[in-house]
Amino acid sequence: NFPAPPFAAHVKNIALDAERGRLFVGVEQGALLRSDDGGATFRDLHGFFNDLHRIAIDPQYPDTVLITTGAGVYRSTDAGERWTRVTTNATGIGYPDALIVDPRDPQQVFIAGSHATPGTWRKTHTANARVLRSRDGGLHWQIVRNGLPAHVRGNIEAMSIAVAGERAELFAGTTEGDIFTSSDDGENWTRIASELPPIAKFGHNF
């Protein structure tokens, strides 16, 4: 089940490998399902913390899959048969949600999230959110924060990338209604909007 009302597990993310007719479906909370026949049948995968947030398939090597969960990022190189956890709280994000694979270079991956779970935010009144970048397909990570507040109180739960040729713009939205953007692969960030309604699911703003 899902810990917040209405306590119903739900599909949160779907990733598609159209060339192979393969689907990955993430259920929050409870499952990661894979279909190899375009959705006619599904199989339950195992080997990770099964509070699924986001799924990303490497477009160059589609057997390589990344997932964000309530306990970190996991990586598989055999289409989900086996998994390796590639982040911990010490990496900088304990509760990752947003996940972006750069279509220009799939080795460049971005995640965003908070230092701990939502239950902790309600006690400390901060998510202490961050953005991390990997340049080796998710094996190693670094915090990218220049231009972001020293302490991002609201969680970063929404992230997207817009690509035109060799140029790309990253966007990140927080549960406090701020939107930040970066045009240099996360090296530098600029706030372009504030005081919007919370960019969050129910119960994640505080």
Q: Report pLDDT digits (tens) over 80-100.
A: 999 999 999 899 999 999 999
Q: Are 96 and 90 a contacting pair, CB within 8 Å?
A: no
Residue 198: DSSP 8-state: P
Q: Are 144 and 186 a contacting pair, CB within 8 Å?
A: yes
Is the pLDDT at 162 greater than 90, yes or no?
A: yes
Q: Model's pTM, two decimal places?
A: 0.93
* CA dihedral sign of residues 88, 91, 93, 97: negative
Q: Tokens 């190693």 identify what position?
A: 140
Q: Are 28 and 10 a contacting pair, CB within 8 Å?
A: yes
Is the pLDDT at 206 greater than 70, yes or no?
A: no
